[in-house]
A and B are shown apart, each in its own frame.
Chain A
């Protein structure tokens, strides 16, 4: 027990004490009536930094970005009613990508509950489908325990968002602060035996054409993944969420799988005789037609969440384990010398790579892909990148060379436009002194454009690269390919958009526009070298499409290349 001399403090102070116990140093939030006592406690607190965003959604995504890049639980505060509902998209985004997040929302005082009182909304029920856990505090005595529990739930097993709703009167009520050592939360047990891993090792030995497939669940297992791949000499593909776990420059990395995956990766899926899937959930964007997915392969599925087994794809061996620990155990039982017989398979992969590289035509206007390649150059491969959602996201996934894990931050499962800019704030604060690049599309950036102010006011040195194709490009692409070019509501005329450079300037952010190929690398490099936030608008060809593409529902090897 961690007792503080029997001094009673109020609920708001208890909350902050709990956060300190959890080593929280940064919170993102927005004040309001129901969280007044909480903000009053913050005022007096010296240990926790609060970042005032310009919209609660921004706070939610920023906390999420912070969590993605640090691996620790992100924290967001919002007031009752609209403050809480404004968090919903951010919570759903974190849920789909299994990101640990604790949201603390104010609520009307207990005697106002259930009466449609001013700024009352039943946020606990609203977020039930999109959180790991959501709970309304009943009295000040249980507050510390429940917050501890919230952090436990968010941060263990398969991680995810948790919401704790605190009625205002409870933040005023007093109690003695005691941070419990243990809380009553049944964590699902995982961990496979050495014997099981010996079986896996044997499968790996027996196969001829292995393919390692990594997802977001492997973000903490990069060393193990690398060692496994190198010892097996197995090619590695990844889902959007698994990007960076193995460096994109690694020779065994054959690029992303799925709808906009590389030719080599998608052909390898169809041809491999063994797929070792680590921390992936076989989302429809990865698998395409499920019946034909890896149809020649034995699938070994390693995941910390039992519910993922057989959910979308039937696996042959299920390893219910933490990915890093599981791989560690596997590596221990693997016999070194036996795994050196995949030459033909690697040759085949090489042929696919040569025959189906990622390509685009460098003529006419600047191509969006070029801009991403310019980021590779200007950042010297060191940047933490966030993206929004759309074509630019897919090009970033295809062309950005992520150096290591947690360097590519994107909304994978929910595909939330408006995620990238606020997430970059969390990333920057989580990695102070590092280069952070927020890659955005002109549609997405408008969704949380107000956060430019938070960036500017806190002088976060984020480099925002806007690929302006004057359209909701990804939707336009679908309309081009599947709706006979009937472009409905996806093209912006000049009058329909702000002048982004002027707009950034209005926020006090230095901005430049690049429209000439010849300037691209030099300007990008110059901007990255400057201090403080920078806004770089690249005017790109709006006709460009993302290829290869597996049409929705088709098998992965049915790619369209142009």
Chain B
């Protein structure tokens, strides 16, 4: 079939079941926008800046399990995607970024709105393409989609000159499997390695399962449940691994790391076998490497061979997809009596808590209440700061794939567009709470307009401490309380700001006894709202694993 490059792009995306794309128009993508207008199957979501589009598409993609799509025009439209792409790269989120480019004949001449976006994004994409020849467009799109969505997932960018969008191309939907010579991810674990793993697990007295974001992407939640519930193996997660297993259960220890749950960190310290799945042992999760799980043998299961042995010395590496490898292991392992270890876990859990300084209205409490009220129903997106850590610690996630947060890059401004993307992906059927801080929220607050335009069920839970409190906390400890440029001398009147967007409701929580009633009220209707909580800037996130210390050397743990 003959059609334009722009139409072919949309046809291919349709073929993959894409329903929404996030973008912002401009000169170089005009032909694409013309094609979008004529396409009945794909809805375009007009964001208010391209950065938000990239974040929204990433979160959308994480929800549906295949890459979201975002569009930016050439030049500033493309460069505005950079943070979103870097964010997706660090968290291995599948994302397809389409950028318009100036006409091929102008490339390299500093033309109007020309930016070398393939050069710029090279360090932060899984792969990228500049399409100079319209004849190659179709194959490149198929390849790009395949690369973004297989193996260790990640962002792929296709830079398409305006004339390539307009060119006539020959398009036949492809049915064969995409094959790329230099790219063959390994899914199946090596049999002999799996056998060794089974042996190690069966002979371990104190095993601990450590789950990272890779488990989410490989949809191996069921296998994790079986490990824990059938074989009585306790589990902990990294920040990205939250939402694989119900955290209210006894053997779920929650997040490890710099601000991890005290008992999760202790468990890593005490275990004799750490079965790490789909995690890259980021420095925030491990603390001092030389002290990390130092009494344990480590099995590392990951789809990316380059992650194995990169940060932590591994006793048994298994390269493969988490779901496939875990289910193979499950075939071999036995139910082993480990009462002592399980008792130890229960004891660790009941005797250690995070230190909490009482303030007039503790953000921890708000999040805890929200969890108790709605953990089985709502989805959570967060920004970056104290509020993010409180959400990871206090909400206690119970549903699969229910947390959307920026882990590796720690991108303030991710939360609101992410909530928007997830709300759309969930078809408006789930309320999405965006837990945010006054600093982060301002970074992409313009998205309120998009949220209102589509009447999305997004609830902005704004924990307003009039400061960049996580940085303030660092200054508290590292700079002897010299607080530099972290207090906002002025903040907007957030409620008034919210109300300036049509159909946005605004609430306020100022003391503890309002928490439940306001949250209930906000949840009782489906439209967007902002709930501003006035909190102190004196809260501290505990525990803390100080720099160069091991996970067990936390400060800020309360013993019971």
- Residues of A near any B CB (own CB < 8 A): 29, 31-33, 36, 39-40, 42-44, 50, 52, 54-55, 81-82, 85-86, 88-89, 92-93, 96, 112, 115-119, 121-122, 125-130, 281, 283-285, 311-312, 389, 411, 413-418, 446-447, 449-450, 452-453, 456-457, 472, 475, 478-479, 482-483, 486-490, 493-500, 502-503, 505-508
Q: Mark B83-121, 1 if CB is under 8 A from A, else 0.
A: 100110010000000000000001001111101100111
Contact of A129 with B116 at beta-carbon distance under 8 Å, contacts A42-B484, A43-B484, A416-B75 already known: yes
Listed residue (A44, A498, A505) with the most chain B CB atoms within 10 angstroms of its CB: A498
Q: Is the CB–CB distance between B488 and A457 below 8 Å?
A: yes
Choice from A55, A130, A281, A486 contacting B442 with Cβ under 8 Å:
A55
Contact of A82 with B500 at beta-carbon distance under 8 Å, contacts A29-B485, A415-B76, A475-B30 already known: no
| Separation of A153 and B23 alpha carbons in the complex (Å) | 36
| In the complex, residue of chain B having the shortest beta-carbon distance to the beta carbon of A112 | B283
Q: Cβ of B483: which chain A residues have Cβ within 8 Å of it?
A: 43
- Residues of B near any A CB (own CB < 8 A): 23-27, 30, 33-34, 36-38, 44, 46, 48-49, 51, 75-76, 79-80, 82-83, 86-87, 90, 106, 109-113, 115-116, 119-124, 280, 282-284, 310-311, 384, 406, 408-413, 439, 442-443, 445-446, 448-449, 452-453, 468, 471, 474-475, 478-479, 482-486, 488-494, 496-497, 499-503
| Separation of A312 and B80 alpha carbons in the complex (Å) | 27
| Separation of A33 and B483 alpha carbons in the complex (Å) | 13
| In the complex, residue of chain B having the shortest beta-carbon distance to the beta carbon of A472 | B25
Q: Is the CB–CB distance between A414 and B474 below 8 Å?
A: no
Q: Is the CB–CB distance between A125 and B123 below 8 Å?
A: yes
| In the complex, residue of chain A having the shortest beta-carbon distance to the beta carbon of B452 | A495
Q: Is the CB–CB distance between A42 and B49 below 8 Å?
A: no
With both chains docked as a complex, state the minimum distance between the C-beta of B109 and any C-beta of chain A, in angstroms: 6
Q: Is the CB–CB distance between B492 and A506 below 8 Å?
A: yes
Q: Cβ of B475: which chain A residues have Cβ within 8 Å of it?
A: 36, 39-40
| Separation of A414 and B496 alpha carbons in the complex (Å) | 34
Q: Cβ of A472: which chain B residues have Cβ within 8 Å of it?
A: 25
Question: Could you list 17 further interchain pairs (A-B, Cβ under 8 angstroms) beyond the known A42-B485, A43-B482, A121-B124?
Answer: A33-B471, A43-B483, A55-B443, A82-B411, A85-B86, A117-B282, A284-B111, A311-B109, A411-B76, A415-B113, A457-B488, A486-B38, A488-B34, A488-B36, A489-B25, A489-B37, A508-B490
Q: 8 A-B contacts, Cβ less than 8 Å apart?
A: A40-B484, A43-B483, A55-B442, A82-B86, A88-B79, A116-B282, A414-B113, A508-B492
With both chains docked as a complex, state the minimum distance between the C-beta of A282 and any C-beta of chain B, in angstroms: 9
Q: Is the CB–CB distance between B453 and A495 below 8 Å?
A: yes
Choice from A32, A126, A283, A496 contacting B449 with Cβ under 8 Å:
A496
Contact of A488 with B25 at beta-carbon distance under 8 Å, contacts A92-B79, A283-B112, A450-B443 already known: yes
Contact of A496 with B453 at beta-carbon distance under 8 Å, contacts A81-B411, A125-B122 already known: yes
With both chains docked as a complex, state the minimum distance between the C-beta of B22 and any C-beta of chain A, in angstroms: 11
Q: Is the CB–CB distance between A499 and B482 below 8 Å?
A: no
Choice from A82, A118, A479, A487 contacting B284 with Cβ under 8 Å:
A118
Choice from A39, A121, A446, A507 contacting B497 with Cβ under 8 Å:
A507
| In the complex, residue of chain A having the shortest beta-carbon distance to the beta carbon of B311 | A115
Q: Is the CB–CB distance between A503 and B442 below 8 Å?
A: no
| Separation of A472 and B449 alpha carbons in the complex (Å) | 15
Listed residue (A54, A130, A416, A486) with the most chain B CB atoms within 10 angstroms of its CB: A54
Q: Cβ of B23: which chain A residues have Cβ within 8 Å of it?
A: 489
Q: Is the CB–CB distance between A129 and B123 below 8 Å?
A: no
| In the complex, residue of chain A having the shortest beta-carbon distance to the beta carbon of B472 | A31
| Separation of A122 and B86 alpha carbons in the complex (Å) | 10
With both chains docked as a complex, state the minimum distance between the C-beta of A68 and any C-beta of chain B, in angstroms: 17
Q: Cβ of A499: which chain B residues have Cβ within 8 Å of it?
A: 500-502
Q: Is the CB–CB distance between A453 and B491 below 8 Å?
A: yes
| In the complex, residue of chain B having the shortest beta-carbon distance to the beta carbon of A478 | B30
Q: Is the CB–CB distance between B471 and A32 below 8 Å?
A: yes
Q: Is the CB–CB distance between A503 and B497 below 8 Å?
A: yes
Q: Is the CB–CB distance between B76 and A89 below 8 Å?
A: yes
| In the complex, residue of chain B having the shortest beta-carbon distance to the beta carbon of A416 | B76
With both chains docked as a complex, state the minimum distance between the C-beta of B256 and any C-beta of chain A, in angstroms: 14
| In the complex, residue of chain B having the shortest beta-carbon distance to the beta carbon of A389 | B76
Q: Cβ of A39: which chain B residues have Cβ within 8 Å of it?
A: 475, 484-485
Q: Cβ of B37: which chain A residues have Cβ within 8 Å of it?
A: 486-489
| In the complex, residue of chain A having the shortest beta-carbon distance to the beta carbon of B44 | A489
| Separation of A198 and B389 alpha carbons in the complex (Å) | 71
Q: Is the CB–CB distance between B25 and A456 below 8 Å?
A: no
With both chains docked as a complex, state the minimum distance between the C-beta of A192 and any C-beta of chain B, in angstroms: 24
Choice from A112, A414, A482, A500 contacting B115 with Cβ under 8 Å:
A414
Q: Is the CB–CB distance between A128 and B448 below 8 Å?
A: no
With both chains docked as a complex, state the minimum distance between the C-beta of A366 and any C-beta of chain B, in angstroms: 22
| Separation of A115 and B34 alpha carbons in the complex (Å) | 43
Q: Cβ of B36: which chain A residues have Cβ within 8 Å of it?
A: 488-489
| Separation of A453 and B406 alpha carbons in the complex (Å) | 25
Choice from B34, B120, B448, B503 contacting A127 with Cβ under 8 Å:
B120
